[in-house]
């Protein structure tokens, strides 16, 4: 078969160009460390990488939500621990106060301490988180949870809404509880036999009044009710503990998920250096062979022998 001279040159040049561009492409891959230099090299893979990147970012968001939820819950925890301590103290005082051997003056002293503890409870009920949100106001976060009127009576100002945040695609954790649920009311049967709800602070105030009035029956009732409040608070703390547990668990799961996505992403995106370097040497070898053979073959010409 005849091969024309210009065809011989053209074909060799085309061949060397192809090999040169292969080498350049591999070099770019090695320089970036990515298996994909441009998305158009493999659109399918580029789409996969983007999807994995989105998923990774999603997990980072959950990480951040977990941080926020945890800090919120820690604020709630420290407030509730304080409340529990104070309630314990009030309960001790109630037990002490119901002792028949106490004098009026003794009870008045106890009443003073209870009053100051109640003020402490009031300020804990209006705890704010680091962003200045009242944590026991439901969703009315800019309104203090409890207000006190001129008579010293306290009212819950928040609403009943709970706020929950997404900590995974399928899991939410509630980051607050309405204040009137935590500072719970007790049910009291009054003299007419009707049952009615008595607010948290009213219970303590009634108890103080009973101490000051030296009314044995009311003091006993106060002790009962305060015991109820203490029990409720223990439940609240347990509920909080379970939510904090959820956050901790989710953190572990999230770390695993992130690791998995990182592996997938690395598999899709990162270059396998060993293979790439081997390929590059093979490509360079064939380019050199093409160049060397072209240099030799192009000299073969009958005219060289015509003298």
Partner 1 sequence: MVDILSIGAGATQLYRSALTTVSNNIANMNTEGYTRQVTDSEQSMPVQLGGMYFGNGSHLGNITRAFSEFNEGNLRNSSSELSTQDPLIKYADRIVDLMGSGTSSLSSALDQFFTAASNLSSDPASRPLRNLFLRDADGLAIRFRELSGQLSNIEQETQAEINSKLTTLNELGKQLVTVNEQLAKKATLNGQPPDLLDKRDGILRDMAEIAKIHVKQTASGTVEVKLDDQNGTTVVDVSRATVFSATFDADQPGQVEILANVYGVASPTSSVTGGTLGGLMNFQSQVLAPAVTGLNELAVMTATEINALQTTGVDANGERGTTLFDEGVATAGAAGFTLLQSDPDKVAAAGLLQISPNATNSGGAILDYNQIAAGTPTPGFTLNYSAADGYNIDGTAVAVDANGNFTHEGISYAFTGIPADGDSFTVGLNTSGLGDNRNMLLMARLQDKATYADGRTMGEGYLDLVRKAGNTSALAKISQDALQAVHDQAVVEKDKLSGVSLDQEAADLIRFQQAYQASAQIIQTSTKMFDSILGIR
* Shortest Å, Cβ 227 to partner 1: 22
Phi, psi (deg, nearest 5) at residue 203: -60, -45
260 binds partner 1 (CB under 8 A): no
Using the rule CB under 8 A, which residue among 97, 138, 144, 222 binds partner 1?
Answer: 138
2 binds partner 1 (CB under 8 A): yes
- CB nearer to partner 1: give 220 or 253: 253
Report in angstroms the alpha-carbon separations of 12 from 16, 19, 120, 281, 292.
Answer: 6, 11, 91, 20, 11
Compute the CA torsion angle 95, 98, 100, 104 (nearest 10 deg): 120
**Which two tokens mark 48?**
């996969």
127 binds partner 1 (CB under 8 A): no
Letter string b/e over residues 190-215, b meaning 16 or more CB atoms within 10 A of that residue's CB:
eeeeeeeeebbbbbbbbbbebbbebe
54 binds partner 1 (CB under 8 A): yes
* Shortest Å, Cβ 171 to partner 1: 12
The candidate with the shortest Cα–Cα distance to 212, out of 88, 99, 117, 103, is 103
Using the rule CB under 8 A, which residue among 17, 142, 245, 273 binds partner 1?
Answer: 142
32 binds partner 1 (CB under 8 A): no
* Count of helix runs (H) and strand runs (E) in the chain: 7, 6
Between residue 151 and residue 170, which ones bind partner 1 under the rule CB under 8 A? 159-161, 163-166, 169
Using the rule CB under 8 A, which residue among 74, 89, 140, 188 binds partner 1?
Answer: 140
Binding footprint of partner 1 on the chain (CB under 8 A): 1-7, 11, 38-40, 42-44, 46-47, 49-51, 53-54, 57-58, 60-62, 64-65, 68-69, 131, 133, 137-143, 159-161, 163-166, 169, 175-176, 197, 301-303, 306
């Amino acid at each position: 078969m005849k091969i024309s001279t210009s065809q011989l040159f053209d074909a060799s040049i085309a061949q060397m160009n192809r090999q040169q561009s292969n080498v350049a492409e591999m070099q770019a891959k090695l320089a970036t460390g990515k298996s994909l230099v441009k998305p158009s090299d493999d659109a399918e893979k580029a789409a996969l990488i983007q999807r994995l990147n989105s998923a990774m970012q999603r997990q980072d968001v959950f990480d951040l939500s977990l941080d926020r939820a945890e800090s919120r819950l820690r604020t709630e925890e420290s407030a509730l621990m304080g409340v529990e301590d104070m309630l314990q103290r009030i309960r001790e005082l109630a037990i002490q106060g119901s002792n028949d051997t106490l004098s009026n003056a003794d009870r008045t002293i106890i009443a003073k301490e209870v009053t100051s503890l109640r003020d402490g409870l009031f300020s804990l009920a209006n705890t704010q988180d680091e962003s200045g949100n009242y944590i026991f106001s439901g969703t009315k976060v800019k309104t203090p949870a409890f207000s006190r009127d001129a008579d010293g009576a306290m009212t819950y100002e928040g609403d009943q809404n709970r706020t929950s945040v997404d900590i995974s695609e399928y899991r939410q954790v509630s980051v607050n509880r309405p204040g009137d649920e935590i500072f719970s009311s007790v049910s009291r049967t009054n003299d007419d036999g009707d049952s009615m709800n008595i607010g948290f602070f009213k219970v303590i105030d009634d108890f103080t009044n009973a101490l000051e009035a030296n009314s044995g029956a009311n003091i006993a009732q106060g002790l009962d009710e305060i015991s109820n409040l203490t029990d409720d608070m223990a439940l609240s703390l347990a509920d909080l503990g379970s939510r904090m547990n959820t956050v901790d668990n989710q953190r572990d799961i999230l770390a695993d998920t992130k690791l998995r996505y990182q592996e997938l992403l690395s598999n899709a995106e990162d270059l396998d250096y060993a293979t790439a370097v081997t390929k590059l040497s093979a490509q360079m070898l064939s380019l050199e062979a093409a160049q060397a053979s072209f240099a030799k073959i192009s000299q073969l010409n009958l005219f060289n022998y015509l003298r």
